[in-house]
Structure 1
């Protein structure tokens, strides 16, 4: 395991963070919200929008490192489809905008269990199609980590079937792409104390 990740896990244990599997969704969200974040990278402009969806509206936050983006990147945060907000993944979106030069649209999709499947996926599809309509002359890319990677790639397949937007590339960071929990990465005990009681 990477030494930086080992140090991060150890510091989380020392701070008293409990395994997500031991609590409720509300407790997991509160623990994530209480996480101390370093000040984010300064960008040219950041603003919030409300995107109309089939279920109402979904909040998004738009990040620009320059006056105009070199394309549009729609980003979906991780959190097991249960936790995560625009604020808790703000630094990730800022870094994506800074390093890509693209206009990054971070999507605050509906969370389970209050909003069961396919609510989050529908939000993802609607947000992507909205971005394509708002910025029709720019390349459109998708990004997501963990559960967000799942939403990005499944939404891309659905949009391809519907031919409602052209997606040029996907950036998937440790995406959830199958449900096989018998793989070694789930079953093997890590070399340092784990936050997840042996389940990863």
Structure 2
């Protein structure tokens, strides 16, 4: 499909701006740039309304980190623990505030957005462990709810890692999981990385840099929580995977969905024709991104309300 015209304009604007590769900047400079782009993507729109938000610190076992809780205007007894994207290195609960508000509103769910400690200060498994602790905290704070684990980009990989941890440690299973354009293959050798690795807002060289920050020990890249395509994917909760057409990580999501299906997981793949990596952050600026965001959340709704698929 042809690229969305709003996305094409964004790419032309960024090309004119000539952004420096991440590896030529300090981590703090990359973080500030990411936050500025996320804010600009809101186009001055008012954030989706929720009944209440609250920020607090929780114990991660080896220190504290933040969570932001959203209570929906219409509470349907759901719970979502959300892990933000940003290559495990950038992004935070503020950059993804509108995303979490949309989730709370669409699903009628309390949302716990995790401000996990980031690389390179906290490499793997630090962010993963914070996510595990946050999901456990959410269960205690909101007992008896259908609990969805969710995330976008690096946060999607963390969400799946948390689901694998729960399965392997005999913890209560999630009711569903949502993974939007997740990185699943640390080799970055897919066809989509070759085809869309330059000039589509998410640069392949930056993806390599993110992996270097999060996984400075190369041996750790074989960890099943990182090399997700080679993980044992059996016994996972009903899953929705969103991908973007013009995304270096497109093939990661497609292949992950196929391997989940082959492992007996109830999984639905929602493609985003014409869009790029990061479309959840563009919903206020790009109508097609808003539409696909609604589609992925509607798919999660179906996973929560439909009987389990037989395998």
Asked whether the two chains share a fold, i.e. TM above 0.5, the reply is yes
Structure 2: which 5+ residue stretches go unaligned? Answer: 206-247, 249-311
Bigger helix share: 2
**Are the counterparts in 2 of residues 61 and 106 from structure 1 also a CA contact under 8 Å?**
yes
21-30 or 94-103, which deviates more: 21-30
In the TM superposition, what is the alpha-carbon distance from 1:194 to its structure 2 partner?
A: 4.2
Aligned match of 1:88: 95
In the TM superposition, what is the alpha-carbon distance from 1:128 to its structure 2 partner?
A: 0.5
The CA distance in 1 between the partners of 2:59 and 2:127, in whole Å, is: 14
* 1:61–1:69 distance in 2 versus 1, CA, 3 Å: farther
* 1:114–1:195 distance in 2 versus 1, CA, 3 Å: same
Structure 1: which 5+ residue stretches go unaligned? Answer: none
Give the TM-score normalised by the residue count of structure 2: 0.59
136-145 or 163-172, which deviates more: 163-172
SS in 2 for 1:92: helix
Give the TM-score normalised by the residue count of structure 1: 0.89
Do residues 122 (structure 1) and 129 (structure 2) align?
yes
Aligned match of 1:7: 9
**Are the counterparts in 2 of residues 43 and 98 from structure 1 also a CA contact under 8 Å?**
yes
Aligned match of 2:36: 34
Post-superposition Cα deviations, 1:111-161, rounded to whole Å, max 9, x if no partner, equal 100111110010000001111122221111011011000000011111121
Superposition RMSD in Å? 2.1
**Are the counterparts in 2 of residues 129 and 164 from structure 1 also a CA contact under 8 Å?**
no
**Are the counterparts in 1 of residues 74 and 105 from structure 2 also a CA contact under 8 Å?**
no
Aligned match of 1:143: 150
SS in 2 for 1:131: helix
Do residues 53 (structure 1) and 55 (structure 2) align?
no
Deviation >6 Å, runs of 4+? none
Aligned residues: 199
Do residues 68 (structure 1) and 69 (structure 2) align?
no
